[in-house]
Structures are given as C-alpha cells and as structure tokens.
C-alpha cells in the first residue's frame, strides 16, 4: 500500500500562508467546501463559476500557441489520465515533460531521472515556453523532439485534449477552443451531528493530544465530503459492524457541501477562500466554521511551484518545482478548517504521496 506524508499547521486569520498555498498549487481538479448550513454563504459561493478552455491539438501546436500568447502565464495539461509520457505548462512559463526511459532516449533532450525507488523509471525535461529565452539551435532541437513525439502518437492516442487557463481568454474568439464554465454542485444534509471545533491548542494540551483531536476533526470533514450516513443524528448502525464517534462537543444541525469538479485555476481557489474568510470575519455564531479541501491534479508532473519570500506570493523562478511521479491514485490535497471572527483560528492539513519530493 502506498504511503503518504502529512503536515499539520495552525495559525490565525488573516494569514498570508493560506494565500501562498493557493498561489503555489496551479493544478487543481476539485474543491470541496463544507459548512453548517447558511443561506448567505451558500448564495455567495454558488455565484463563483470559474472557467477553463479545452482544445484538441498536438503538443507542438500547443507550444506554438502558448509561446505566442499575448499575456503569457498559461497553465495547461492533458485532460487524459495518462501518467507515463505526459506533460504540463505551469504559470512560470515552463513546459515540463515526464517520460519513460524509452521515449526519453528517442527524444534526445537533456533531462533528469526521477530519484524515487519502487516506481517506473521516468525522466523530467524542462523547456521554456517563450522561444526568446533559448538559442536558435536549442529551440530547433526541442521543436524537432516534440514533433517526433507527435508523430509517435499518430498511430496511438493521437492528438492531445488539452485543458488550460489564461488571463485574457474570451469566448467567441477565432481560436479553436471551447470555453467551459464550471457549475458548482450543491448538496444538503439534514439532522447531522456537527462538531464544535476548538482549533487552537488548549492550555496544558500536549502536541500528541492536539494532533489526535485535530485528526478526528479532519476525519469528520472527510466523511461530510462523502455524505456519510454515519454522521446522521439518528444513525443506528450495528456497533459490531462499525463504530464511529463524532468529535465532542457537537450539536444537531444541517450541513451544506459545495463542490467544483474540473480544472480550477489558483485565482478561483483564492476567490473562494476570500469569500469564506469574509463571511467568518462577521460571523457571530461561535459554532460557525468552514472546511475547504483542495484536490490537486495527480497526473500533472508538477504539483507545487516554489514561491519567493516576497509578501505578494510571487514565484521563485530560480528554483525548479519539486520532482514527483504523476500517478492517478497519488495524494495531493490541502484541507483547511477555519473558525469564526476577524482573527479566527485555522488548521491546515496537507497530504502528498510517497513519490513527491516537496518536503524532501
């Protein structure tokens, strides 16, 4: 069974750490927000409808398109679930290829082998999107290699279905793409046992006890995201079959879950976070809390982008993104639980797979 790595962080709002978390993760495939029912918050979140673009083309064609984009800053990856021989373009303007040993040898470009044990032998190749950043001979070699890859795919998968986002995209233009509007899915659950979370460590509470208490709270959030029957106040499951206890203290109420499942740009995740924190800043109910869970695109060879130390969460282009193995069942999630008040507490849990070098 694949192992995962988990990191817990806590703090108070407002927090630049949460803004930086949004900026550092450009490839998101789902966002879940769970909260005790509130018509006001539900209406505000339901109005958020992000967009992205789709087009079918070769990788050579898409690189030409991206390199000539007036605004630049394109974020893109294939929509397929291919994990071997795949690629992405991150917001720093780098095309990252992750390919098998056989394709790596055919392409003839210089790359770096993934250092993980127990996974297929794969290589990462990084190519700047903007052609003026490379010499003419190097760029020509890169284009020839991508053309070869396109030709190899002609008798197999064929052209790529690419999903991407950029700042200046508009519907109705002459570009051969489809603009997709992501509609939120809203779920209501009634008569749910809802915990009253205390997110900050209690006086005299050990680190181990706090970790255990917060882990129980994240378990509740995960079950709420699944719509688990076990959270029902009238649940009467046979205790010999399964036992689950709601974190105490708790109360009976209604829960709302809103899900956006598609290619989600970091600016949308940041907008959702701003909507949530604005609501909590004026909340008078001490029981109010909100949980947001970000799911990364696991088939992307890039998971996180290094950020500079500047407060504006700008990218640190001097450092390459951490290496990782694209894998359909890999973990790449970030879940934060936020409490009420302008200076409310929050807890963040991040989870990544064993073949991800983000934390060393």
Name the more confident of 82 and 207: 207
On whether the CB atoms of residues 297 and 315 are closer than 8 A, the answer is: no
Q: Which two tokens stand for residue 269?
A: 């995740």
Spatial distance between the Cα atoms of 230 and 192, rounded to a whole number of angstroms: 9
What pLDDT, in 10s, does the model give residues 46-98?
A: 999 999 999 999 999 999 999 987 666 799 999 976 668 999 999 999 999 99
Spatial distance between the Cα atoms of 267 and 273, rounded to a whole number of angstroms: 10
Angle (nearest 5°) at CA 278 between 169 and 335 = 75
pLDDT at 259 over 60: yes
Determine the average pLDDT of the residues in 235-248: 77
> What is the percent of the chain with per-residue pLDDT over 70, rounded to a whole number?
93
Least confident of 89-103, 197-211, 214-228: 197-211
pLDDT at 187 over 80: yes
pLDDT at 291 over 70: yes
Determine the average pLDDT of the residues in 100-121: 93
pLDDT at 186: 97
| Model confidence, pTM | 0.92
Least confident of 43-47, 72-76, 301-305: 72-76
On whether the CB atoms of residues 163 and 76 are closer than 8 A, the answer is: yes
């Amino acid at each position: 069974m694949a192992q995962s790595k988990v990191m817990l962080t806590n703090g108070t709002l407002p927090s630049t750490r949460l803004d930086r978390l949004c900026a550092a993760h450009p490839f998101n495939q789902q966002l879940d927000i769970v909260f005790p029912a509130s018509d006001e918050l539900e209406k505000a979140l339901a109005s958020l409808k992000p967009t992205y673009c789709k087009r079918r083309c070769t990788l050579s064609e898409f690189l030409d398109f991206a390199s000539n984009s007036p605004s630049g800053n394109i974020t893109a990856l294939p929509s397929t679930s291919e994990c071997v021989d795949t690629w992405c373009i991150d917001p720093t303007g780098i095309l990252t290829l992750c390919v098998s040993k056989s394709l790596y040898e055919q392409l003839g470009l210089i790359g770096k082998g993934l250092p993980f044990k127990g996974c297929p032998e794969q290589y990462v190749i990084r190519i700047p999107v903007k052609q003026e950043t490379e010499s003419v001979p190097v760029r020509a070699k890169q284009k020839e290699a991508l053309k070869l890859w396109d030709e190899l795919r002609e008798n197999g998968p064929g052209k790529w279905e690419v999903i991407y986002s950029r700042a200046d995209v508009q519907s109705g233009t002459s570009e051969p793409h489809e603009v997709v509007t992501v509609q939120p899915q809203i779920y209501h659950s009634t008569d749910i046992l809802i915990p009253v979370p205390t997110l900050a460590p209690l006086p005299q509470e050990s680190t181990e006890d706090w970790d255990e208490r917060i882990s129980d709270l994240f378990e509740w959030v995960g079950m709420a995201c699944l719509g688990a029957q076990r959270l029902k106040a009238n649940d009467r499951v046979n205790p010999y079959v399964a036992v689950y206890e709601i974190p105490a203290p708790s109360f009976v109420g209604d829960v709302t879950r809103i899900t956006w499942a598609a290619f989600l740009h970091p600016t949308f995740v940041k907008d959702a976070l701003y909507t949530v924190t604005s609501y909590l800043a004026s909340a008078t109910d001490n029981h109010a809390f909100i949980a947001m869970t970000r799911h990364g695109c696991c088939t992307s060879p890039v998971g996180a982008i290094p950020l500079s130390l500047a407060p504006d969460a700008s990218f640190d282009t001097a450092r390459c993104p951490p290496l990782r193995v694209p894998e359909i069942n890999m973990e790449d999630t970030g879940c934060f639980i936020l409490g009420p008040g302008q200076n409310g507490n929050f807890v963040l849990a991040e989870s990544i797979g064993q073949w991800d070098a983000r934390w060393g």
